[in-house]
Structure 1
Amino acid sequence: MRAERYRRLGLRPVINAAATLTRLGGSRLAPPAVVAMAEAAGEFVDMPELQRRVGARLAELTGNTAGYVTSGAAAGITLAVASCVTGPEPSTVESFPARAGVAMFRGHRNPYDYNARLLGTGIAEFGADPASMAEAIGPGTACVLWFAGAHYADGAPALSEVIGIAKERGVPVLVDAAAQVPPVSSLWDFTVGLGADAVLVSGGKGLRGPQSSGLVLGSTAVVEGCRAHASPGHGVGRGMKVGKEELLGLLAAVEWSLALDEPALLAEYEKSVTRWVEGLGGLPGVRVERGYPSEAGQPHGRALVRVGATTGWTTDTLVKALWDNDPRIAVNVVGDAIALNPQTLEPGEDVLVLYALRSLLGAR
């Protein structure tokens, strides 16, 4: 029986056709990560030394100068901003609330920027023109915080232009790319490629590592500042603890991700999208099309399903019916469309999603 331990607690397991969402558990662990976490769980280790060794290995694998494992990408924002506020060797880790500010493109403001503001930093917004950027990025700016992905790109200036202006003023640039895997090259494109000081990536999304893990990759200064404020010390990140299981699990997941045939993986995603478009196309009152890219701007398609009044369904009632299924089926809603994402499905689950939708829509 599927997910027996969940069922013992009265929970139905979920087929995730939505995305690598925290509320659904992120993603499935890569098989090597499961093994690595089990091995880590059975032994004691010098945690600061393990964190350094894993960070160094992750940097080596990705071509970055330094690496640090956090308890998720949101914790990565807090620690990396704290690092930029105080530098890599703060006179005291009890430096917050901070007076320094963070510069952000106004179109990037979102709930995650609270992970910077909780330090007491203000946010200076800038527009797409150089004059606006130059005004916002000044002597009191600790860093620029940039959110990557097609869903943040509308009206935004080029990141390369932002990095250039920031570097002229000696201000580091942090790129939040939490959900930007695939492509796995996001682990180095923003830093080694474009010159940002650090990239922040979720460990539990596209990399399929532990959900409670994240990566800060980039300059030694940013990474050492993260380390200064984090557990097992008693800085602002003391509660953002990373266990030995997450450290080895994430390393194994990154190694596994780098060894994948990414074009073949993306091709499999497209097969699922095609199956949905063909399997739902032609049903009375139903419109379905391939959307591209994914909701986070990843380079793969998704199926966008719209239901008309003649079907007897609305978007909301159909989403609820899928969720009431056993196992539950989770989907995203984009405007008036149900978005089906193949990234988080195991082989064959796309067929189960298609069957559930066809059954609800009256197809035989």
Structure 2
Amino acid sequence: MDIYHELGVKKIINGWGTITKVSGTLMDERVLDAMKEASKHYVLVEEVHAKAGKRIAELLDVEAACITSGAAAGIAITAAAAMTNGNKARVLQLPDTTGMADEALILKCHRTLYDQALPMTGIKVREVGTTSFADIEQIEQAISDKTAMFFFVAEAEPMRGSVDIKKIINVLNKYNLPVVVDAAAEIPATSNIKKYLKLGADMVIFSGGKEIRGPQASGLILGKKRWIEACNANCCPQYSIGRPMKIDKETIIGLVKAIELFVSKDYERQLHQWEEMSGKIASLLKNKGLAEIRTGYPTEPGIQPVNILRTYIKPLRKTAEKVFNELIELPTPIYSHLNGNELVINPQCLTVGEIEFMCQSILKVL
């Protein structure tokens, strides 16, 4: 049985990466088996949440963990936690923030479409600095009795208008205010799991459906026990702002299994394999109607993860946009990242067997 064929849905080749639009990632069979086993029994979902969170914290060697229905849900939940501190009356009051500190500070250059998840909780977003400049003095001047948290986006860290995260944490600590880091796609490197916590961040958000290879609608908030308890108070199955962000027992168990596999994975070997795949792609396309082809690591802000070697293709006779659009209209659509006048192929979600077919398709379109 081919369920996608029955629905008339095309299967694609994913040379883009763990992007939600193209399905994030594919789960290991052992994750699927764990989810199937979880589906066979009734349990108390709140107990599964608590004990799975404890297990994940142990596996990742962090203080505490809260499981969410994705990284964007994690943004909303951390904002709710910062405003309510887990106070039950306040949890029930949101999105009415009367009587609460209800501002989230964010550097202007860190604004993304994902931070729409902040104001849905009732929190007000206050920008600091410009897209090209900000400093720690501006951040401290922006803090008031209305400040609930500081929201830092890891992928924007290299931008000109960013400020050193450690300096931000030090200042917010003076006022006993939490720093939340959105690190949704910062894996691999596995060291990033604890990078921001070691620097003193209070809550760090990760996607479970990217390189962790858990269910697509799963995510993690890792952090200090006090704040993770406040996150859990705002999560489903509680009656809270997080109630619509439901995460089922199968997804929770699937994420636990995915993390068990993730912590035992040899990423040195995996990164080497991706390097070989990018090299093969470049070799198959070399001298074939391209103005330029090269391999390299992404340096532009917002492209994650940065430690996976990509193949950069600059077409000769057509624009990169035209080639991109023609590739996604093929009988087997091929997706890559359109970056100005280049197409960027990320091997992260490709299989070795797909590479030759993908390259042949690209050559036909060129």
| Shared fold, TM over 0.5 | yes
The answer (yes or no) to whether the contact 1:209–1:253 under 8 Å persists in 2 is yes
- TM-score computed with the length of structure 2 as normaliser: 0.93
Cross-structure match for 1:47:
45
Cross-structure match for 2:335:
330
Cross-structure match for 1:70:
68
Structure 2 Cα separation of the partners of residues 222 and 114 of structure 1? 21
Cross-structure match for 2:249:
244
The answer (yes or no) to whether the contact 1:89–1:224 under 8 Å persists in 2 is no
Cross-structure match for 1:109:
111
Matched, 1:29 2:27: yes
Unaligned stretches of 5+ residues in structure 1: none
Amino acid at match of 1:169: Y
What SS does the aligned partner of 1:240 have? coil
Alignment of 1:194-233 (within 5 A): 194-233=199-238
Shift of 1:46: 1.2
| Counterpart among 168, 171, 183 of residue 177 in structure 2 | 171
What SS does the aligned partner of 2:334 have? strand
Alignment of 1:123-134 (within 5 A): 123-127=125-129, 128-134=134-140
Cross-structure match for 2:319:
314
Structure 1 Cα separation of the partners of residues 88 and 306 of structure 2? 37
Structure 2 Cα separation of the partners of residues 7 and 154 of structure 1? 47
Amino acid at match of 1:76: G
Alignment of 1:338-357 (within 5 A): 338-357=343-362
The answer (yes or no) to whether the contact 2:94–2:122 under 8 Å persists in 1 is no
The answer (yes or no) to whether the contact 1:230–1:237 under 8 Å persists in 2 is yes
Unaligned stretches of 5+ residues in structure 2: none
Shift of 1:23: 1.4
Alignment of 1:133-152 (within 5 A): 133-149=139-155
Cross-structure match for 1:304:
312
Identical aligned pairs, as a percentage? 30
Amino acid at match of 2:285: L
Structure 1 Cα separation of the partners of residues 73 and 335 of structure 2? 26
Structure 1 Cα separation of the partners of residues 217 and 136 of structure 2? 38
| Counterpart among 16, 19, 28 of residue 18 in structure 1 | 16
Cross-structure match for 2:2:
4
Structure 2 Cα separation of the partners of residues 340 and 45 of structure 1? 43
Shift of 1:152: 5.5
The answer (yes or no) to whether the contact 1:17–1:329 under 8 Å persists in 2 is yes
What SS does the aligned partner of 1:348 have? helix
Q: 115-124 or 8-17, which moves further after superposition?
A: 115-124
The total of aligned residue pairs comes to 355
The answer (yes or no) to whether the contact 1:151–1:296 under 8 Å persists in 2 is no
The answer (yes or no) to whether the contact 2:86–2:234 under 8 Å persists in 1 is no
Matched, 1:186 2:192: yes
What SS does the aligned partner of 1:78 have? helix
Shift of 1:156: 1.1
